[in-house]
Amino acid sequence: MPAIDATDEFETLDRLFRPLAHPVWGRDLADDVGVVPSRPGHDLVLTKDAIVEGVHFLPDDPLDLVARKLLRVNLSDLAAKGAEPFGYLLACHWSSRCGWPEREAFAAGLAEDQATFGLGLIGGDTVSTPGPASFSATLLGWAPRGGIVGRAGARPGDLVLVTGSIGDGGLGLQAAQGRLELEPERIAALAAHYRLPEPRLAFGAALPGHAHASADISDGLAADAGRIAAASGVAIELDLGHLPLSAAARAWFDSRVDPEAALSFLATAGDDYEILLTCAPSAEAALMRAAEGLHLRLTTVGRVTAGQGVTVRLGGKTLALDRLGWRHG
């Protein structure tokens, strides 16, 4: 693999990243800064997540997929707040394995998801590190003024809903690591979910006015429910009997001898990047209609009560989870 010397950070910028610049606000990446004009009636919503090789992605993951996952885990945060993304800043901490072909693949992945999600590159930095590669992105989006859905708004009496299916991220990691015994097409589907989550931006746009609280599920359903409960000063009860499973996760579940342990794993495994929300019972139907219009599964998995913490039930029995979820260190 070719060594990249310091000078090549200029060439990386010129050759690979300048073509990705936002046509106006990125200033051709020639100015150390991006400039975003104020948009009357709107708030700017910002989020910044980092990913590390060997922790958040696998050392042999293709870098185009790593780049797309980096954007998507951040886009997922914007989606859960009902914000509309438009741009990002990027920091690449390249390892010695990141020669030209790998950097080109990374830029190609960015270009693909820029087109998919309507993003432009506003600025950033590329550096090299003697350690494993890591990356961070600062994603920017617009929301109508005062309109984002926070984590702290859940109220006793609310229902708890999730988009999509739960547990595919956790199973997908095992699938990508070759640690799962399932049919090859199931393995492929789960690994693809782990490597390339789908931020729920279109559904997120339907949240304002209907949801009281929402967040994306990155650390596991139970853990992220716990964070909504803590921020809102309420308790949340989850019923694992209602956990929405993908066909692949259902096939895995059917192969397990201990259904409680299996569902507990799925509810705590993380990397789902689905939206977890609470709403008044009267808003459930409108949200269901919005999801149906997007051909997106939306499932009521629990309810909000007075109190604190998360309770997980299955068939009327309360489960004691070893841990609520996994926070990537």
Identify residues 113-152 at the interface with its own copies (CB under 8 A): 122-125, 127-132, 134, 136, 138, 140, 143, 145, 148, 150-152
Q: Does 4 bind its own copies (CB under 8 A)?
A: yes
78 vs 76: CA distance, rounded Å: 5
Binding-site member from 23, 37, 178, 316 for its own copies (CB under 8 A):
37
- Contact between 20 and its own copies by CB under 8 A: the answer reads no
How many other C-beta atoms are found inside a 10 Å radius of the C-beta of residue 152?
13
CA angle 98, 102, 105 (to 5 degrees): 150
Question: What CA–CA distance (Å, rounded) separates 176 from 299?
Answer: 27
The torsion defined by the Cα of 146, 152, 155 and 156, in degrees rounded to 10, comes to 180
Q: Are 161 and 287 within 8 A, CB to CB?
A: yes
Least distance CB 225 / its own copies (angstroms): 14
Contacts of residue 31, Cβ cutoff 8 Å, sequence gap at least 6: none
Q: Which listed residue (1, 48, 185, 255) binds its own copies by CB under 8 A?
A: 48
Nearer to its own copies, 37 or 184 (CB): 37
Dihedral sign from CA coordinates of 251, 253, 254, 256: positive
If the CB atoms of residues 15 and 242 are measured against its own copies, the closer one turns out to be: 15
Name the nearest CA neighbour of 52 among 138, 110, 133: 133
Site for its own copies in 180-219 (CB under 8 A): 215-216
3-state secondary structure of 203: helix
221 lies in the binding site for its own copies (CB under 8 A) = no
Q: Report the nearest approach of its own copies to the CB of residue 98 (Å).
A: 11
Residues 53-72 binding its own copies (CB under 8 A) are 54-56
Nearest distance from C-beta of residue 51 to its own copies, angstroms = 7
Structure tokens at 171: 């199973």
**Measured from the CB atom, is 25 or 253 closer to its own copies?**
25
- Between residue 289 and residue 318, which ones bind its own copies under the rule CB under 8 A? none
3-state SS class at 43: strand
Pairing of strands 84-94, 120-128: parallel
Instruction: Quote the least distance from Cβ 250 to its own copies, whole Å.
Output: 29
Interface mask toward its own copies for 84-113; x: CB under 8 A: -----xxx-x-x------------------
* Closest by CA position to 163, among listed 224, 227, 115: 224
327 sits near its own copies (criterion: CB under 8 A) = yes
34 binds its own copies (CB under 8 A): yes
- Burial annotation 92-122 (CB, 10 A radius, 16+ → b, else e): bbbeeebeeebbebbbebbbebbeebebbbb
Nearer to its own copies, 42 or 242 (CB): 42
Q: Which of 188, 192, 205, 231 binds its own copies (CB under 8 A)?
A: 231
Q: Which one of 51, 66, 287, 298 is in contact with its own copies (CB under 8 A)?
A: 51
Sole binder of its own copies in the list 16, 17, 21, 47 (CB under 8 A): 47
Q: Rounded to an integer, what distance in angstroms lies between the CA atom of residue 138 and that of residue 124? A: 9
Nearer to its own copies, 228 or 314 (CB): 228
Instruction: Tell me the closest approach of the beta carbon of residue 170 to its own copies, in angstroms.
Output: 14
Options 17, 67, 77, 277; binder of its own copies; rule CB under 8 A: 77
Q: How many residues bind its own copies (CB under 8 A)?
A: 72
Q: How far apart are CA 229 and CA 154, in angstroms?
A: 7
Q: How far is the CB of 33 from its own copies (least distance, A)?
A: 4
